[in-house]
Chain A
Amino acid sequence: MNDPFKNMKNSMEKSIFKDFSFSNERKNAVREAIRTNQSQFHTETIIAILESVQHESKDGYNISVQLFQKNVRAFSKNEGQLYTLLHLLENKEMLTSNWINNKKYYSLNSKGKKYLATYKQDTTKQGLSLNPFITEASL
């Protein structure tokens, strides 16, 4: 009894899969998506957020205004990402939040303060240790 599927590969290659391959445009689209994923959050952005709530608690809008004044443009075309990052920093216990009048006010907690302090002490090394957050946040 011969195998009925023996010629299947050949048959498929000549019919449904003829001239059907994953094009370079498609591959580039994947690379593009990967790149935008990588470069979403920078250490400076995170530090700028931490600094903005260093002395007083602020809501998301006021944080974004302050970032704008500081010339941090990472969220200038997608403000929503700021909230994603704020949420992540909250989960990582770098920030705490309070609801006041239907607005969520963020402030620095002890872990965040420590990060900010060490970052200022030693810019080069400490900058790196934030990378795990950045990667996680951008995925």
Chain B
Amino acid sequence: MNELNQLAVTDEMMLDEREQIIDQLMREYSNDILHLVYTYVKNRTIAEDLAQEIFIKCYKKLNQFNQQSTIKTWLYRIASNHCKDYLKSWHYRKITLNNKIFDHIPSKSKQVEEEVIKHSEENSLTNAVMNLPLKYREVVFLHYYEELSLKEISKITSVNINTLKTRLKRAKELLKDKMIEEV
């Protein structure tokens, strides 16, 4: 019985502690996570919804965090997986993609704002990166925006470091081709 009580006490404390940990994670990383999610889903509202779900998921899985990586890496890993799950989901494939197709029908006038953003000089780089295929976009974003090391990215995405290097190199080539095309 003593053992059980011991367990119960730590568990009891954990509840409060867990909430604090999530609070702290949100304070430090919520914008980074939100931006990361956006690069996967390219929609602000969906990105906000998913980021919210990610923090709740972290809370639920916090007892499974096994100190083998930093909590930041762990959080990013959950985020990345959550986004990939979403992109595979029925909702995304049927509903969101359908809406996207409507967006691309030329008769529908695009929002002026969007046009302006597209044409400004500053954003051609952003657009080029956002239009890279996911596996390149992911590593580029984590490395250059979130400023994570390849070792950390490898832990987050479960992709071998050498593969990541190749992808970065390939991403640079793709980007150059695109920029030349635009000019």
A contact set with B: CB distance below 8 Å: 3-9, 11-12, 14-17, 20-23, 26-27, 29-31, 33-35, 37-38, 118, 125, 128-132, 135, 139
Question: Does B40 sit at the interface, judged by CB under 8 A?
Answer: no
Q: Is the interface of B mostly helix, strand, loop or mixed?
A: helix
Q: Which residues of A contact B48 (CB under 8 A)?
A: 22-23, 26
Residue of A26, A33, A38 near B51 (CB, 8 A) is: A26
- Give 8 closest A-B pairs by Cβ, nearest first: A22-B30, A128-B8, A129-B4, A15-B123, A5-B144, A131-B8, A30-B55, A11-B125
Residue of A16, A20, A30, A118 near B56 (CB, 8 A) is: A30
Closest-CB distance, B113 to chain A (whole angstroms): 11
Do B5 and A8 touch across chains, with their CB atoms under 8 A apart? no
Q: Which residues of A contact B52 (CB under 8 A)?
A: 26, 29-30, 33
| 0/1 string, B109-128, CB within 8 A of A gives 1 | 00000000100101101100
Task: Give 11 new A-B contacts, CB below 8 A, not counting A4-B179, A17-B35.
Answer: A3-B172, A4-B125, A11-B126, A15-B126, A22-B34, A27-B26, A30-B22, A30-B52, A34-B59, A38-B19, A128-B12
**Interchain Cβ contacts within 8 Å, total number:** 112
Q: Which residues of B contact A23 (CB under 8 A)?
A: 48
Known A-B contacts A11-B122, A12-B126; A33 and B34 likewise in contact (beta carbons under 8 Å): no
Closest-CB distance, A22 to chain B (whole angstroms): 4
Q: Which residues of A contact B4 (CB under 8 A)?
A: 129
Chain B: interface residue total (CB-CB under 8 A): 47
Question: Does B105 sit at the interface, judged by CB under 8 A?
Answer: no
Q: Which residues of B contact A135 (CB under 8 A)?
A: 11, 14-15
Closest-CB distance, B122 to chain A (whole angstroms): 6
**Which A residue's beta carbon lies closest to that of B44?**
A20
**Which A residue's beta carbon lies closest to that of B9?**
A128
Do A30 and B26 touch across chains, with their CB atoms under 8 A apart? yes
A21 to B130, CA, bound (A): 18
Do B117 and A34 touch across chains, with their CB atoms under 8 A apart? no
Do B140 and A8 touch across chains, with their CB atoms under 8 A apart? yes
Do B8 and A130 touch across chains, with their CB atoms under 8 A apart? yes
Residue of B5, B12, B143, B171 near A125 (CB, 8 A) is: B5
Closest-CB distance, B17 to chain A (whole angstroms): 12
Residue of B23, B126, B143 near A16 (CB, 8 A) is: B126
